[in-house]
Amino acid sequence: MNKIFLLFLITCYFSTISNAKNKTLKEGHWHTELYLTESDTLPFTFYYYKSYNKLVIINASERIELNNITINKKTISVKFPIFNSEFIGQIKSKNLIEGYWHNYAKGSEYKIPFSSQFGLFNRFKTDQNNADKFTGKWEVTFNYADQKNREKAIGLFNEKNNSIHGTFLTETGDYRFLGGTSFGNQLKLSCFDGTHAFLFKSELKNDTLWGTFNSGSHYKTNWFAVKNDSFELRDPEKLTYVINDNPLAFSFTDLNNNSYDYPNESTKNKVVLIQILGTWCPNCMDETNFLTSIYDKYKTQLEIIGVGFEIGKTNTDKIARLKNYKKHMHVDYPLLLGGNACKPCAVEKFPMLNDIMSFPTLLIIDKKGNIRKIHTGFSGPGTGKYYTDFVTHTTTFIEELIRE
């Protein structure tokens, strides 16, 4: 048989298989619901691009692209690029998918049932004639019944035509891009990003929002909120601080299993940023986006070192996660393995600090090796002015240190 003709037949065969796979899933919006409990359902939307075999999750203004999709007859698997989770479902019809979201970071048995219906629907039930009751800044108290473990936060909501975007900002980070709707006196918000499955339900009674918060199927608490334009959390640059005069020095393993010592020749006479992070942490991902932009601009005068505290049974597993993170996030600066994903583990490796309250935590060091500023947590793009103020303030401070 003519080789060219044979190659043509093979190409047609695999093309037919590929097209047959894609015919089982319709292009367009899919309304998806995660069944957290018998009474708590978390909705979100994704868009499937048939020609690219690509799925995009929509959380308010955030778009999360997923390209690792396998469709085999009536089954579908969708893996997340950074977070260790995946959807495994059955394609019941061209309009319906049912299955489970598996979050392996929480254990091999952690899974939540889901269903996806073809079509563009409101995230929650809405009232088109509802008045704007929720736009503004709210003083929030989570877990208010437990005086020891209650947590203060800022709720930032923007309502337009009963569609609401917003977030909650805490002292250790923000809840990122929440989307939802209002119905009468009810406010509902949700987001899903592959590791966080957040559901907020509340009702306005007089001047107070009373609500519940679900994180996946494993956590639920109560909260209340009142409008308060003047309320602020503690200064994120005063929560973590140096407790002794010992110079900062450490030795961690790099992604090639070699020892990386700080300080070294590459950090000499440079401003240095130490990013304490975890690749499992969406707030760290937001901070990484900011740091990569700073590094691209000032890399001849600035060094950034990321120290990851990771989930995994072995160091090989943890380093593999860091390698994947570095590739997917386009990180040019060094990433090192700090240890296990726990705050006490990080404190142990940075004993010159009083505490590490949050992943991420950012240390800003001048050319002489002095820690000049420590920022706890990260206020991402979902927080609006808090994010833009942080970017402006931090960039200006780094530029001042470079000029010293």
pTM above 0.85, yes or no: yes
pLDDT reading at 2 higher than 70: no
- At 165-184, the pLDDT tens digits run 999 999 999 999 999 999 88
pLDDT reading at 13 higher than 80: no
How far apart (Å, rounded) are the C-alpha atoms in residues 19 and 34?
29
Q: What is the predicted pLDDT for the residue at 245? A: 84
Greater confidence (253 vs 25) lies with 253
How far apart (Å, rounded) are the C-alpha atoms in residues 34 and 181?
17
- At 30-41, the pLDDT tens digits run 999 999 999 999
Q: What is the predicted pLDDT for the residue at 4? A: 39
Sheet (strand 302-310) strand order: 259-262, 250-254, 335-340, 302-310, 271-277, 361-365, 371-376
pLDDT bin (cut points 50, 70, 90) of residue 348 is very high
How far apart (Å, rounded) are the C-alpha atoms in residues 328 and 81?
7
- At 276-334, the pLDDT tens digits run 999 999 999 999 999 999 999 999 999 999 999 999 999 999 999 999 999 999 999 99
Decide if 162 contacts 218 (C-beta within 8 A). no
Mean pLDDT lowest among 119-128, 212-221, 264-273, 391-400: 119-128
Q: What is the predicted pLDDT for the residue at 132? A: 83
- At 52-102, the pLDDT tens digits run 999 999 999 999 999 999 999 899 999 999 999 999 999 999 899 999 999
Ordered structural domains, the chain, with CATH: 22-118 (2.40.128.120), 136-227 (2.40.128.120), 250-403 (3.40.30.10)
Q: What is the predicted pLDDT for the residue at 130? A: 67
Question: 3-state secondary structure string, the chain?
Answer: CCHHHHHHHHHHHHHHHHHHHHCCCCCEEEEEEEECCCCCEEEEEEEEECCCCEEEEEECCEEEEECEEEEECCEEEEECCCCCEEEEEEEEECCEEEEEEEEHHHCCCCEEEEEEEECCCCCCCCCCCCCCCCCEEEEEEECCCCCCCCEEEEEEEEEECCEEEEEEEECCEECCCEEEEEECCEEEEEEECCCCEEEEEEEEECCEEEEEEEECCCEEEEEEEEECCCCCCCCCCCCCCECCCCCCCEEEEECCCCEEEECCHHHCCCEEEEEEECCCCHHHHHHHHHHHHHHHHHCCCEEEEEEEEECCCCHHHHHHHHHHHHHHCCCCCCEEEEEECCHHHHHHHCCCECCCCCCCEEEEECCCCCEEEEEECCCCHHHCHHHHHHHHHHHHHHHHHHHC
Q: What is the predicted pLDDT for the residue at 362? A: 98
Q: What is the predicted pLDDT for the residue at 246? A: 82
Decide if 299 contacts 332 (C-beta within 8 A). yes
The alpha carbon of residue 205 and the mean position of all alpha carbons in its chain are separated, in whole angstroms, by 32
Q: What is the overall mean pLDDT for the chain?
A: 92
User: With pLDDT > 90 as the criterion, what percentage of the chain qualifies?
Assistant: 86
pLDDT reading at 17 higher than 60: no
Q: Whose structure tokens read 């691009």?
A: 49
pLDDT reading at 19 higher than 90: no
User: With pLDDT > 70 as the criterion, what percentage of the chain qualifies?
Assistant: 94
Terminal Cα distance for the chain, rounded = 75
Residue 285: which of 137, 177, 154 has the closest Cα?
177
How far apart (Å, rounded) are the C-alpha atoms in residues 144 and 134?
21
